[in-house]
Structure 1
Amino acid sequence: MEETFLIFFFLSSIIFLVSKPKTLLQQSIVFPLLNLGTLALQTICKPIANRLKKEAGVNPRFRQFIINIAQVAGAALVYEVQKNSRGEARKEEKRQEELQEIRRKHAKMENEIEELKRRYQDLSLKIAEEMEEMKQRHHEC
């Protein structure tokens, strides 16, 4: 009983550190603790798994119960993976739409810049023509 409490406390501490590593020390401790926690979990689960295998080999009803649990777990896993992939697909679609909008705005800005350049050239030409006319009038006077 005491071992179970210590293991639970140890694993919950690891989960806390992994979920929110704030300091450099905590970040450097996370992976070794995670590895140690994984090893502890494997050590605890191995005798339980052996016991379940032994019971499943002897008792057909228990074996069917374990099979049903495994099927449900497998179905839940497939569901979660599909749900995650749909979410990722939606995120990617949104990113693509945002990228397309940025490209559209960029093309619009390029067109506006080209229009401003054309106007600048027209105005520069008009100013030059008017300056030339002013010089000619000044010389005539």
Structure 2
Amino acid sequence: MSGPVLKLQTLVLKTLCKPIANRLKKQAGLHPRFRQLIVNFAQANHRFQTNMQRHFYGHATDVEILPLNEEKAVQAAADLIGELFVFSVAGAVVIFEVQRSARSEARKEELRRLEIEPMAQKDEELAREVELLKHKLVELEHLARGRGLNGHFNFKPPPATEYVKPATPH
């Protein structure tokens, strides 16, 4: 797929997902049980991130971490839910595209195989025919030598099986 088409598809995907993600964010803060769940999740995430930052910068990690206020926790969790939705849709599209591409490549490979198969069979037939002709030529040379017709048919003498280098005096 070309670059501009991919970029355009990405923009369309984001444009379609953003309103849905915003709606999820809004609804996440309204439902009481779900609100408490995401507040707990946001607080745990805040503690984890703060500990990681403290550890990374070499600060003490055993210090008490102040919790986020409820509205900030809801907003952080809702933002995370919205981003996870957009990311999951984008991931699903990528997976779908990879599978589609793999199926397309498999079809192309099958067509290539079907195209090459008759050529391979023809190649095998020609190889068998060449071997048969070589065998017949050897028989014909043998018969010609046996009848003394070697000079009449202008057959080449059989190739030497071993080359012996003449000895040179030192």
TM-score normalised by structure 2 residue count: 0.38
The one of the two structures with greater contact order (alpha-carbon pairs below 8 A, sep at least 6) is: 2
Structure showing the higher helix proportion among its residues: 1
